[in-house]
Each structure stands twice: as structure tokens, then as C-alpha cells.
Amino acid sequence: MFAYSNNDYYCEQVPLADLAHETGTPAYVYSSQAILANYGAYEEAFGDLPHTVCYAVKANSSLAVLALLAKAGAGFDIVSGGELYRVLQAGGDPAKVVFSGVGKTAAEVEDALANGIHSFNCESEAELALIDAKAARVGKKAGFSIRVNPDVDAATHPYISTGLSQHKFGIAIADAAGVYERSKQFRNLVAEGVSCHIGSQILDPSPILEAVDKVLALAEALRAQGHPIRHLDLGGGLGVAYHAGETSPEIRGFVDALTSRLRASGLAAMIEPGRSIVGQAGVLVTRVLYRKKNGDKEFLIVDAAMNDLIRPSLYRAHHEILPLRKNTLPTMKVDVVGPVCETGDFLARDREMANAMPGDYLAVCTAGAYGFVQSCNYNSRPRLPEILVEGDRWRVIRERESYADLVRGETI
Ligand code: LLP
């Protein structure tokens, strides 16, 4: 949904340079068609196998994005009370919400029960006890899955790999059956499922499939022991192409591999994709402020910074950077950096890219997932606006923060 037509870079039918001129920069821009196409690819691939696609809210939690997905029928994977609030504000169906995360608070559990979410993905026995007690108090039965840690290496960046026994996540698969057995003492819990999530930005899905095989075997053993397991929650994790020339793994082929494993079991599928739905549906538009040389090194100083998109600084993540208007000048090799006072403030390093001059607009690509949501106000920089494109129209779905927003809630 992002492509050049003649020399202009478009999101759907909107030339981004014109949009940037009107909205100012930096700004996040999302393609509604791309979001819906990716969600639709999951839905279509699951076909008639009973399933719920629970979009991982953490990837991009803007109300308009959630509302698009809610309207299309999506469920949601949340990790906090704040995310539940957003889902409800956006018109999401609480009955299709799963609540993940290692550190749910008592207040968050109460809130989730009061709103009638589908189930909790639990990560410890103490958490099971808490949910049972809270459910008892309101006279409800709470559905739960144990998030098992299958000890599978996701082969992704260490900060976003979660499925090894050294990680804080889940309960070791070898211990899980015992935990389910002991959970029978909890009168207000129902063992609805088994869940796992081994990491994010996984380009070769084979580790996910390996984890699924392990979790499926566990689910079948649990059913044989009389647990009413109805679904497998396979987590998220499918990666997207960040480099030019790389191709994203096909959602269809990935889901086919999952459904072929699940079909005979009679279990329903849940899945929690985040990045593969919104990652390629967004860009960060920025403008060149200055170009300068320090010795042999050349810097392109742009108006977006690490506080707006932290992925390059935090994970050494690669994002392609393209001019919104192509030129015929020779390419250049630069560090693309922002105004923040940190050496770690860069969007690209030693990047051979299209020539750009002060005033030119650039798109930092594949920024729809874990972009705005991980942004902050460091250096007292107001957070960016977000714009949603729908065909030949666009609208501001979040206003640019003002200086007054920066100090809201503070007192002297
Ligand atoms: N389910 C659970 C339990 C998760 O922890 C995550 C992501 C997802 C689903 C969604 O995974 P996805 O489909 O988006 O890969 N900030 C990092 C990514 C952190 C992912 C955390 N968990 C980044 O910018 O790459």
C-alpha cells in the first residue's frame, strides 16, 4: 500500500509529500487497507477451523487502528488494564479478549473480570490463585490458559525472544501438567486452553511450529486427564521484511501449517499477531533539517529521533529510509540522526541511500508496529501525530502533542 507512482511516494492514493506538507513533520502515517488486508489474510487462512485472531494491542494501540480491527471482527490480546480500556473505547468485544503478561495486578484482574474478557493467559501459580480469589468474590468462573515455555529458540533478537527457559515468561513445559492438575483446587477457574509465545520478528516460522507441536501434545495429554481444554493460543511472532529485497513470510502459508497440525485435535485456535498486521502498514515521515560532516563521516540530521522511533537504537533494527520525492542525484552514505542529545540517537547508520537535502521529506519504512507505542517525551519533545489513510482520504487519528500536553498533570 506504500509505493512510488512516477516520482512520488504514496500511501494508498495519497502522495505523502503533500500530506506531510499539510500535517507537518515528523508524523506517523498508516494505511487502513494494509491493516485490513493483513488481518483478512489471517481470517481467510483459518477458514472454517474455529478460531479467534486476537490482535496484539501492544504493537499499535491507537484507537482508530483498534476500531478498524474491531469492526472487522478481531479479538484482542492485551497486557494491561490500559490496553483493555483502549479496546473497550474502540468498540472491541471483551468476550474476544485474552489477557497476557507476567505481572497482572489485582486491580487489573478485577477490571478484566468485571468486563467479561474471554480468558487469562497465566504465567505462575500465584497468579492463578489471585484470579481464582477475585473470580470467587464476584461469583464468576474465569477461563484460563497456562502460558507454557516450550524451551524453543526463536532465533530472533535476544530482547524479543521469550521461549527459552532462561526467560521470565511462562511456565516450563515439563511443569505445566502438574500446574494444571493442582489448578483443580481452584473452584472458580476453568482450564480453557494452553498458550505459548516464543518471541517476535520470527522470519522462519519453523521454531513456532516446533513449539506448537509440543504444546499440542501437552493439550492432548491434559484433555486425557479430564481438563476441559478447548483452545490452543499460539501467540504472535510472525516477522515482517524490514530490508529492501527481503520478503515477509506469507501469513497464509504460516497459518496453513498451523491448521494442518490443529485440525485433527478438534481444538479451536487463537493467535496473537501484532507486527505482521500493522508493521508494514505504517511509515514515519520526517524532514531533513541539516546535512553535516565530521571528518569522514556525514550526518543527515532529521526532525524525528530515537524518542519517536526507538527500534534502531534499542534493537539495532533496520528500517529502510526512502525519499518522498525521488531525485536523480547520486546516492550518499550517511548516518541518519535526530535532534536528541544522545550518541545512540540514530535511525540508520552508514546507510547508502537516496540523496537528500535540507527540507526534503523521508519515509522511515515499516514503522507501523512498535513505533508510536514505544515513543516518549525525552528531551521534552511532544509525541507525534498519527494519520490514517483510507483510499484517497486521510485523517488525523491522534493530534500532535502541544507544549501544554508536555506538562499536563505537573505542579511546581
Ligand atoms: N503475544 C505476546 C504474549 C507477546 O508478548 C507479543 C509481543 C505478541 C503476542 C505479539 O508479537 P508480534 O506478533 O508483534 O511479534 N518492541 C519489540 C517487540 C516486542 C514484542 C513483545 N511481545 C520490537 O519493536 O521489535
Contact 254, 271 (CB under 8 A): no
Same domain, 89 and 156: yes
Q: Look-up: residue for cell 543527515? A: 300
Q: Does any ligand 1 atom lie closer than 6 A to the CB of residue 60?
A: no
CATH code (residue 213): 3.20.20.10
Cα distance between residue 3 and residue 33, in whole Å = 13
pLDDT of residue 156: 76
Q: Does any ligand 1 atom lie closer than 6 A to the CB of residue 311?
A: yes
Same domain, 118 and 209: yes
Closest CA to 278 of 93, 69, 83, 44: 69
Contact 27, 387 (CB under 8 A): yes
Same domain, 225 and 369: no
Domain boundary among 257, 277, 297: 277
* Ligand 1 centroid distance, CA of 371 (Å): 12
Beta bridge partners of 2: 11
| DSSP output for 97-152 | EEE--S---HHHHHHHHHTT-SEEEE-SHHHHHHHHHHHHHTT--EEEEEEEE---
- Is beta strand 268-271 parallel, antiparallel or unpaired with respect to 51-56? parallel
With respect to residue 411, please indicate whether it lies within any of the assigned structural domains. Answer: no
Same domain, 268 and 324: no
All three cell numbers of 14: 495519497
> Order of strands, edge to edge, in the sheet holding 2-5?
2-5, 8-11, 14-15
With respect to residue 6, please indicate whether it lies within any of the assigned structural domains. Answer: yes
With respect to residue 253, please indicate whether it lies within any of the assigned structural domains. Answer: yes
Beta bridge partners of 120: 99, 144
- Is beta strand 2-5 parallel, antiparallel or unpaired with respect to 8-11? antiparallel
CB burial of 39-70 (b: ≥16 within 10 Å; e: otherwise) equals bbbbbebbeeeebbbbbbbbbbbbbbbbbbbb
How many whole angstroms from its chain centre is CA 292? 35
Residue nearest to atom 23 of ligand 1 (CA): 370
All three cell numbers of 190: 476453568
Gyration radius (Cα) of the chain, Å: 22
Residues with catalytic roles: 341
Q: Does any ligand 1 atom lie closer than 6 A to the CB of residue 275?
A: yes
Contact 125, 99 (CB under 8 A): no
Strand segments (E) across 40-110:
51-56, 75-78, 97-99
The DSSP code for 280 is G
Residue nearest to atom 16 of ligand 1 (CA): 370
All three cell numbers of 13: 492514493
Same domain, 243 and 327: no
Same domain, 58 and 171: yes
Contact 56, 272 (CB under 8 A): yes
Domain boundary among 254, 277, 300: 277
With respect to residue 373, please indicate whether it lies within any of the assigned structural domains. Answer: yes
Contact 50, 268 (CB under 8 A): yes
pLDDT of residue 169: 87
pLDDT tens, position by position, 114-160: 999 999 999 999 999 999 999 999 999 999 999 999 988 887 777 77
Domain boundary among 225, 246, 277: 277
Same domain, 249 and 153: yes
Phi, psi of 363 (to 5 degrees): -110, 125
Q: Does any ligand 1 atom lie closer than 6 A to the CB of residue 77?
A: yes
With respect to residue 167, please indicate whether it lies within any of the assigned structural domains. Answer: yes
> What residues make up the domain containing 329?
2-30+280-406
pLDDT tens, position by position, 79-116: 999 999 999 999 999 999 999 999 999 999 999 999 99
Residue type, position 195, single letter: S
Same domain, 330 and 216: no
With respect to residue 412, please indicate whether it lies within any of the assigned structural domains. Answer: no
| DSSP output for 373-395 | GG---GGGPPPPPEEEEETTEEE
Q: Does any ligand 1 atom lie closer than 6 A to the CB of residue 25?
A: no
Counted domains in the chain: 2
Distances (CA, A) of 103 to 34, 63, 126: 33, 24, 11
Q: Does any ligand 1 atom lie closer than 6 A to the CB of residue 274?
A: yes
Mutate to test the pocket of ligand 1, among 55, 76, 100, 200 (most ligand atoms within 8 A of CB): 200
Mark out the alpha helices in 28-62 (DSSP H runs): 32-46
Q: Which residues of the chain have pLDDT under 70?
A: none
Same domain, 264 and 326: no
* Ligand 1 centroid distance, CA of 274 (Å): 6
Distances (CA, A) of 140 to 92, 193, 280: 21, 18, 40
Atom of ligand 1 nearest to the CA of 202: 15
Cα distance between residue 303 and residue 200, in whole Å = 29
pLDDT of residue 168: 83
Same domain, 23 and 41: no
Same domain, 22 and 101: no
Same domain, 110 and 209: yes
